[in-house]
Structure 1
Amino acid sequence: MLNFGPNQLISPVPSQNDVSKAHASLLPSLDLNKIEVRMNGLEGLSNGWRSLPDQVKARFEEKYGRIATLMRVKVQIPALKAMLSVWNPKYGVFSLNDIDTVPTMEEYQALLGIPYSTQNRIYLHLEHRQTWKRLTHLLGIPSEEAKSKETVKGNTHGWYWTYLEKRLDQFLQEKQWDQASVALALGIYGLILFPGPLGIITCSTVEVFWAVERQEVNPIPAILAETLLTLTYCRQQGKGSIKCCSQLLYLWIISHMCPVETKGLTWYLDQPPIEKMTRLVISPKNEQQWRERILSFNSHEYCWRKLWTSGQLVLIGTGGNQSVSLIGVTGYTSYTPALVMRQFGLTQTRIDSEEYHQGHFYHELKEEEGLKMARRSWENISLMERSPKGPSATRDYLEWRANRDREHSTVEFEDSDPCRDVLLEEADNRLDDSLQKANTENSQLQEQIKQLEDQQQKLKRKVRRLKEEARAERMGFEEQEVHWEEERDSLQAEVKEMKVQNNKLQEKMK
C-alpha cells in the first residue's frame, strides 16, 4: 500500500448531522412505478458538437475528456430502476446474491478520461456567492444580464439552457472555437454530468465547472458522489427521481451485467472503451427482464474486473480511513472500496471495522466545516496496486456475506409482481449454492495457482536452457564463420597467384 500526503489522520465527517439513516436495517418497500428517471433533451448540445471542426473536437477531448461521447449513449431506463432495487444504502453497494459491487473512481475515470493535474484536488461545495460573476467570466455574458437571467425553480437557482444555448450558437457562427468549447462543456456538465431540474444549468453546476476550468480540480469524486447520493435517497424513500449522470451509470451497469454483449470487445489506446460501448446493441428489456438478469448472477459468473481499468493504482481510502469521502453538488457521501476489492482483481476479505460506510448529508444542512474536513481527508490518500491473479474471496468473507444478507434484504417491491417470491426464493437458493461452490472453487483455484507457479518455474528453467544452447550454437557459428573467412582468403590468394602465373606463361608464349 502506498500512502500519499501528510501522516496525520483526518477524522471522518461528523455523524451527528447525518440524515442518511445508513445503518437502519429496515427499508421501505420499493415502488418502481414511483421511480422517475428524467433526462434532459440534448439536441442543442449534439448540434453544437457536430458544428465543431475535427481539430477543435480533438482539443476539446484533450481538455475535458470524452464527456461529449455521453450524448450518444442510449439509456435503458428499466436497467437503472432494476439496479436501484438491489441498492444497499447501509453498505453503499449494489447487493445481489453473493455479490457486492459499486461504481468506482477508477472505472468512471477510465470511461470519461477526464484529465486532471492532481488526483486529490477535489471540488469543495460552498454556499453560492454571486455565481453569476463566474458565468460572466466563463462565457463573456454582461454581468447585469447574467444576474437578471438567473432563475429560481423550487430551491434551485440557475439559468435556462435555452438562454445559454444562444451564446453557444453565437460562438459557433463567429467561429470562436475556444469560447464555443467552454459553452458546450458547461452544457454537458449541467445537462448530463450534474443534471438538476429539467432544462436548467444550476448554480451548483456552474460552481463545479468553474472549479474544473479555473482551479483544475478532479471532478470524478463529485460525479460519483451524485450517483451514490441519488441511489441512497430513492432507496430509502422507496420512491423519487434518479438524478445523476444516468448515461455513465448505465454504461457501468452493462459493462458488468452484460458479459455476452461485451465479450467480443477489445480495448486499444486509440479506441477508448466509452466509444466502443456506445455502439453496443443491448436488446430492449423491461424492468422484470432486467431484474431477472441481475438476480441470475453469482460471484463466479459476474464480470468483476474490466480490462480497460487495468494498470491503474486503486484508491482505497482517504484520511487514513477505509472509506473515500465524496463531495457532490447536492451533498456529501462516501464509499468503501474494501467492500468491492474483487473489482480490482484482489482478494475480498471480511471487514471487521464498522467503517464501511460513513453515511451522508445534504448541503441544506450548511455543514461547511464537515465539507472542509472531508476535503482535507484527501490530503492523505491510500493507494494499492492491482493483482494480476484475478478476483477471489476468503471463506470468512463468504460466510459473513451470507449471514449479512439474511439480516438485510434489499430486494423488496411494492408492486404486485407474481414472480417476486419465486425470484427471492431462487436468489436465496443460489446464494447458498454459490457459497458452497465458492468454497470448492477457492480450493481449486489455490491448487491451480500452485500448479501455474510450478509451470512458470519449469518454463523459466527451459528458457534459460534454450538461451544457453542458443549461445553455444551462436559461438559455434561464429567460429565456423572465421574458418570460412580464412579459407576464402586462402582461395583468393591462390587465384591471384594463378592469375600471375597465367600472365607470365602468356608472356613467354608471345
Structure 2
Amino acid sequence: MEEPITQITEKNAVIREWSLKTQREKGDSLVEGCVANLPEHTTVNVRQNNLEDLVRVWNQWDSDTRDIFTERYGDVAHLITIRVDEQLIQAMVRFWDPAYQCFTFNQEDMTPTIEEYAALLRIDNVQFGKIYVKEPKPLTFRKKLVRLTDMNDAWAEKQIKKKNETVCIPWSSLRESVLSHPDILKRVNLFALAIYGLVIFPRVLGHIEVAVFDFFERLKQGVNPVPTILAETFRSLSTCRRNLRAEDITWRAPWIRPSVMLYKCGGQDWVPLLGLWGGVGYAPLLVQRQFSSRQFIPATGGLAQFEFAFAGEGYMKRVRDIAKSWKEIHFMELALYADTLTQDYDI
C-alpha cells in the first residue's frame, strides 16, 4: 500500500523567520568554489520536431474525442500549435542562473513554478504531491509498446531503434495507430504520448525515447506530471546572463493568484524535483513576487550542488530520498503586498 502524503500549510510570517534563520545558519547556494561560470555568449539548439501530423490529427477529431483528451490530459494539446521563437529562447538562456535555478535580472529573480505550470497546462485530474519516480527495474520497452498499441511482440521488436545510445521508437511507427485504432481511448492515449515525447521531452528528433514511455505509463496512476516537466526544463537551460532593467520585467500572469505556494518538501529547505533523466532542486521562496507576495530572503543552502543525472553509482538512493521527501509537502500562505521587498532582501 502506498504511503499517504502529508500536506502542511504555514503562515507567511512564520516561514519568513524560518527562511532567514536557515539562510544565516546554512549559508547561501553560492558557496566558494561553486560560483557559476556564466559565459558572455552561448549557442542554443532550438530545432523542433515536425508537428504537422499532430496538428492534422487534432483538427480531424470531433469535439467528443477532444473532450475525452482534455479530461484526461488537460490542455497539453495546445502545445502542438506554439511556434518556437528562436530569438526569445536565445535571450532567455542568457539570464539563467544555475546556482539558484532561476532567471536573474540584475537583482530580480524569476522562475517557472509548479503552480504556474499546473495553471497553464490545466492538468486537474492528478494528485498534486504524487510525483513520478523512476523505477529501478521497469518493464521492457517491448512490453510497454505491446500494451499501449495492442500490436504483437514481433511488431514491437521491429520498431525499437537505437539513436546515439538512446533507445526509442520512430513517431512514424505510431502514427497509424493514432489515426485508426478501433479503441478511441487508445488513440487518445497514444496522441498524448506523442505530445510528451515529441514536444515536452524531445531527445531524438522524430522519435519517442523509452524514458518517456516509462513516465507516461505512470500518468494513468494519477502522477502529477508538472514537477517532472519543471525538472527537465531547469536541467536543459543553458547558463548565461546579461544586464536588464527591472522596469523591463513583467513579473506575473495576473490571472494566476494562488493563496498558497509549495515551498519545501520533507527535510529539504526547498523543492527537490525528479525528471526523466536526472534530479534538480528549486527554491520557490526566491520568486514570491510572481504571486504579488512580499519577497523576503529565501533559504538556498546546497541548491547549487543538488543537481544530478540518473547515472553512476548511488543515484537510485538519491531518487528514493527525494520520493520520500515528497511524502511531506509544505505550503506557505501567500501574503499579498503588491510586489514589495523586505529591507534585508537586497543584502
The one-letter code matched in structure 2 to 1:84 is V
Moved over 4 A (4+): 355-358
Are 1:374 and 2:341 an aligned pair? no
Counterpart of 2:102 in structure 1 is 93
Counterpart of 1:181 in structure 2 is 188
How many residues of Structure 1 are paired with residues of Structure 2 in the alignment? Answer: 318
In structure 2, C-alpha distance between the alignment counterparts of 1:26 and 1:205, rounded to whole Å? 30
Are 1:55 and 2:64 an aligned pair? yes
Counterpart of 1:193 in structure 2 is 200
The residue correspondences of 1:38-437 to structure 2 (distance < 5 A) are 38-127=47-136, 128-171=138-181, 174=182, 176-213=183-220, 215-231=221-237, 234-235=238-239, 295-298=243-246, 302-351=249-298, 354-365=301-312, 367-398=315-346, 400=347
The one-letter code matched in structure 2 to 1:94 is F
In structure 2, C-alpha distance between the alignment counterparts of 1:311 and 1:190, rounded to whole Å? 30
Counterpart secondary structure, 1:395: coil
The one-letter code matched in structure 2 to 1:194 is F
Deviations 1:196-227 (A, max 9, x none): 110110000011110002x2100000000010
Cα distance change, pair 391–356 in 1 and its aligned pair in 2 (3 A): farther
Identity over aligned residues, as a percent? Answer: 29
In structure 1, C-alpha distance between the alignment counterparts of 2:32 and 2:143, rounded to whole Å? 38
Conserved in 2, the CA contact under 8 Å of 1:22 and 1:90? no
TM-score normalised by the chain length of structure 2: 0.85
Instruction: In structure 2, list runs of 5 or more residues that go unmatched.
Output: 1-5, 9-30
Conserved in 2, the CA contact under 8 Å of 1:333 and 1:358? no
Conserved in 2, the CA contact under 8 Å of 1:160 and 1:200? yes
**How much is the aligned-residue C-alpha RMSD, in angstroms?**
2.2
Conserved in 2, the CA contact under 8 Å of 1:117 and 1:216? yes
Conserved in 1, the CA contact under 8 Å of 2:281 and 2:303? no
Conserved in 2, the CA contact under 8 Å of 1:323 and 1:355? no
Counterpart secondary structure, 1:334: strand
Structure possessing the higher relative contact order (Cα contacts under 8 Å, 6 or more residues apart): 2
Conserved in 2, the CA contact under 8 Å of 1:331 and 1:360? yes
Per the TM alignment, residue 301 of structure 1 is displaced from its structure 2 partner at its CA by 5.2
Are 1:4 and 2:7 an aligned pair? yes
The one-letter code matched in structure 1 to 2:191 is L
In structure 1, C-alpha distance between the alignment counterparts of 2:224 and 2:172, rounded to whole Å? 28
In structure 2, C-alpha distance between the alignment counterparts of 1:26 and 1:228, rounded to whole Å? 15
Task: Decide which structure has the larger Cα Rg and report it.
Answer: 1
Larger proportion of helix: 1
Greater CA deviation, 203-212 or 318-327? 318-327
Cα distance change, pair 356–331 in 1 and its aligned pair in 2 (3 A): closer
Conserved in 2, the CA contact under 8 Å of 1:159 and 1:202? yes
Counterpart secondary structure, 2:172: helix
In structure 2, C-alpha distance between the alignment counterparts of 1:344 and 1:357, rounded to whole Å? 24
Counterpart secondary structure, 1:36: coil
In structure 2, C-alpha distance between the alignment counterparts of 1:360 and 1:222, rounded to whole Å? 14
Counterpart secondary structure, 1:397: coil
Instruction: In structure 1, list runs of 5 or more residues that go unmatched.
Output: 6-20, 239-290, 401-510
The one-letter code matched in structure 2 to 1:223 is I
In structure 2, C-alpha distance between the alignment counterparts of 1:315 and 1:333, rounded to whole Å? 16
The one-letter code matched in structure 2 to 1:89 is P
